[in-house]
Structure 1
Amino acid sequence: MREALNIDVLNRELNIVYKYLLKKGVPHIDAQDAVQETALKYIKLSDTIRSSKVRSWLIRVALNYHYDQCRKNKKYHFNLDEHSGEPESTETPEALVISKERARELSSILNQLKPFYAEILLLKYQSNFTYEEIAIILGISIGAVKINLYRARKKLLKCLEEARDDES
């Protein structure tokens, strides 16, 4: 009975990791691969993982696997297109086009940043994690999260300004 409960809990946690990867912009197939590899590692190492840290451990392992695969393929993808499915009735077609264009521009600029900076910005502003949660997920101190968020915002602002200067 306890094993079935652990499997249910693991499946629920892996679904959360999968949805997080998709929200982060990882392609569907890559997210599935990362979650599968993460599940295998969890099964092998489950005795050594504290139960209070399971979700952050799973997210970290899945992200590390994804980054390893990206390094092997020499590419990083951050897709911020949030408008999948039916458009909301309150938005005009022009507003949808503008928001998609802005998301595309932001995605392009995020790809110019260090992957760590892009990740920490997405964790904070897209996934709405707290400093404490980000620290657990990334395995760094809360102070390091704040410092790196500051640096990432500063670099993002610089890239945005450069992009606007290029358009002029």
Structure 2
Amino acid sequence: MNDINTKKELNSELNIVYRYLRKLNISHADAEDIVQETAYKYLLYSDTIQSSKIRSWLIRVALNFHYDQCRKKKRYDFYLNNEILDTDIQTDPEALILVKERKDLLEHALSKLKPRYRELLLLKYQTELSYEEISALLELSVSLVKTNLFRARKQFAKIYKEEKHER
């Protein structure tokens, strides 16, 4: 199995893929199905995947499967997840409200970004992929990834500040 020698390591990588899919507002059930399909394809093709690109390969396979399913169902679910926070309301209700407001503000600002910028920011900061991994995943040059991430961060900061002052 290439660089991923144990079930535990594969599980860890697939958990990262799952969390990324949930950040794209893909339902729990759909994300689980996508991860299962991705794991199956990994097991089929593991000997052909470069060990340094396993995570990006898994994410690309998962996204491609999701896009295929969306095309089949004529639906696209790309907005961030709006689930209830895991914070216990009885411990500190004021903190819960503040955290929820901040989360809503961040999600709203992200939703105003171009889809490509939103995807780049999530890949870099949520999934913690390197520039090289993002480059391979999106089939872009590393310099283009860096440039677009810089622009995405700049646009996000501008939108976030505007949103914060409006509230």
Q: TM-score scaled to structure 1, two decimals? A: 0.71
Are residue 33 (structure 1) and residue 64 (structure 2) matched? no
Partner of 1:100: 100
Distance 1:88 1:37 in 2: 39
Partner of 1:122: 122
Shift of 1:65: 2.6
Once the two structures are superposed, the pairs formed by residues 25-64 of structure 1 within 5 Å of their partners are 25-64=25-64
Any unmatched runs of 5+ in structure 1? none
> Which of 74, 78, 83 is the aligned partner of 2:80?
78
8 Å Cα contact 1:81-1:103 kept in structure 2: no
Distance 2:145 2:83 in 1: 26
Once the two structures are superposed, the pairs formed by residues 146-161 of structure 1 within 5 Å of their partners are 146-160=146-160
8 Å Cα contact 1:56-1:136 kept in structure 2: yes
Q: 1:13 to 1:20 in 2, by over 3 A?
A: same
The one-letter code of the counterpart of 1:140 is L
Distance 2:75 2:152 in 1: 24
Shift of 1:70: 4.8
Partner of 2:131: 131
The one-letter code of the counterpart of 2:78 is Y
8 Å Cα contact 1:81-1:100 kept in structure 2: no
Distance 2:89 2:144 in 1: 39
Higher RCO, Cα 8 Å, sep 6+: 2
Count of residue pairs the alignment pairs up: 162
> CA offsets, 1:119-164, max 9 Å, x none?
2112333344443443344443321221111221233244335546
> CA offsets, 1:29-49, max 9 Å, x none?
121121122123334433432
Shift of 1:24: 5.4
Question: Identity rate of aligned residues, in percent?
Answer: 52
Cα-Cα RMSD: 3.4
